[in-house]
Chain A
Amino acid sequence: MVTLQHYLILSAVLFCLGIVGVMFRRNLIVILMSLELMLNAVNLTFIAFSRYLDSIEGQIFVLFIMVVAAAEVAVGLAVAVAIFRESGSIDVNNVNLMKW
């Protein structure tokens, strides 16, 4: 019997994996992908609650999250391309012009 807690734990695991990816990888592409992983974990939470609380709003909100995530990935990858043109690599340790 799969309860709500199963889905919540799975979603929490995915979210924490996304956080680990954002914090510990230096490749900008992988950081953006870990960000997508976090957003997908939240999507799973919303859909699980939508099913177990018998409400459709969760799934509608997931559609909007997907819109925002796609837009953010497009802009983020454009930024990655611009960074690559400037410094020749997408190592985020090179993006330190504003460091004091």
Chain B
Amino acid sequence: MEALIFYVLGAVTVISAVCVIFLRRPLHNVLFMILTMIGLAGLFILLNAEFVAMVQLIVYAGAVMVLFLFVIMLLNLDQLTASGGPRAMRWWIGIALAVGLVVLLFPIIRAFVPAAGQGALTGGAVQGLSNTEIIAKELFTTYLLPFEIASVLLLAAIIGAVVLARKKL
């Protein structure tokens, strides 16, 4: 079963990556990149790294790719054409997809049990901590200095991006 999920997710990721590189319109590249990120997040969950998978979805698929979309639309790099077809049809498709998503997520939300379950990855005995707790235990004690330096790095990146994208250089 795990092998089947691995091959399906791997195929989705690799095919999306090929589409990212070889398609012509930048918007299509970004959308397939988002699909690649989702495939990779699935692979992370398969590897018992749920926290990193969620961070991947939030940071990469939710922030970095949206940043790409902003830049593509800001610079008008892709000729956007409004799609034809009746508007009512798109409303119904949207509503059907939203309802389908709720139906898909409902058993997961209902079965949510906080903490419990995961075997520890710290190479020691099984402590029953979740992946998030294990990461937090290491990140905020042993790796506290790199964590703080990472925030300084983000500050430098913010300043750099604002300076570089100003109108008057």
Contacts and interface: CB of A to CB of B under 8 A. Distances in A.
Interface of A: 1-2, 6-7, 10, 13-14, 17-18, 20-21, 24-25, 27, 29-30, 32-34, 36-37, 40, 43-44, 47-48, 50-51, 54-57, 59-60, 62-64, 66-75, 77-82, 84-85, 90
B150 A67 contact: yes
A78 B161 contact: yes
Interface of B: 2-3, 6, 10, 13-14, 17-18, 20-21, 26, 29-30, 33, 36-37, 40, 43-44, 46-49, 51-52, 55-56, 59-60, 63-64, 67-68, 71-72, 74-75, 77, 121-123, 131, 134-135, 138-139, 143, 146, 150, 153-154, 156-158, 160-165, 167, 169
Contact of B143 (A24, A60, A84): A60
Given A33-B30, A56-B135, A79-B164, A13 B14 contact: yes
Nearest to A74: B161
11 contacts: A2-B46, A40-B37, A63-B139, A67-B153, A70-B60, A71-B153, A71-B156, A73-B64, A74-B161, A77-B161, A80-B75
Interface residues of B: mostly helix, strand, loop or mixed?
helix
